Structures are given as structure tokens and as C-alpha cells.
A = this chain, B = another copy of it.
Amino acid sequence: MKNITNTRGYMIGEMSRKTGVNIETIRYYERIAIMPKPDRTEGGNRQYNVEQLKRLFFIRRSRELGFSIAEIRALLEMVDQNDFSCSEVHDLTVVHLASVKEKVASLKKLEKALSTMIAQCNRGDVPNCPIVDTLFEMA
């Protein structure tokens, strides 16, 4: 039960608590190499530093914003360059925004279609269920 940031660094559990990223997920990020291999204690436990903590925050925030791991990998590569190009980051974000908009649009279509189906159905008082009829359509 220690939240102490000791001099040796953060243990994986602390990293998890601070960022909200699951421990298993942190190890997964290491395996797919978007997080670096951290130092180890003599016993073999991971010891993270502040850099790595920031990186994990970056990843979590990016995931929250819907970036895929592949996109995050690209973002991190950009950021890892000393003199990274803001316009590359900008462009990647614009592309991502476009895909989010597309998803919204297609979900809105679903929403409309489902609403219509539901509206046509008065729950069993009709001989044929209009929802089921719609689902059987060979459109």
C-alpha cells in the first residue's frame, strides 16, 4: 500500500494507477514496442522513469481520442524525433478526424434505420413483425 515514488522509479502498479492503464496492457505495450523495455530491479521487476510515465499518458490519451495503435506508433515516432514536425502530427490528426466523422455518419444512419423500425412496431399487435420483416429484406 505505497504510493511512494521511490528513487528507483515507478513499479508497474504505480504506472497503472497513475495513468489508468491496466498492468497487463502496459506489458502488452512493451511487447508490441510502443513502450520501451524499462529498467529492472535485481529481482526482475520493472522500474519506470518519468519519461516513460509521460509516454504512457500520451498513449492512453491517444487511445481515448480513438487513435489506433498503428497511428499512435506513428505519432510516437514523430514525437521521438528531437525536432519533430508539427505538420505531420497535424495531418495524421486530420485524417483520424475524418475517419471519426465517417463513423459518426454511418452510425447515425444506423440510428435512423433502427428508430424507423422501432417506430413501425407496436410490439406484437401486428401480424408480421415489421422489424423482422426489415431484417429479412434482401436489399
Please report A residues at the B interface, Cβ cutoff 8 Å. Answer: 18-19, 54, 57-58, 61-62, 65-66, 75, 79, 84-87, 89-90, 93-94, 96-97, 100-101, 103-104, 107-108, 110-111, 113-115, 117-118, 121, 123-126, 129, 131-132, 134-139
Contact = CB atoms under 8 A, between A and B. Distances in A.
Contacts of A139: 61
A107 B101 CA distance: 8
- Specify the main secondary structure of chain A where it touches its partner: helix
A134 B58 CA distance: 9
A138 B18 CA distance: 9
Contacts of A97: 111, 114-115, 118
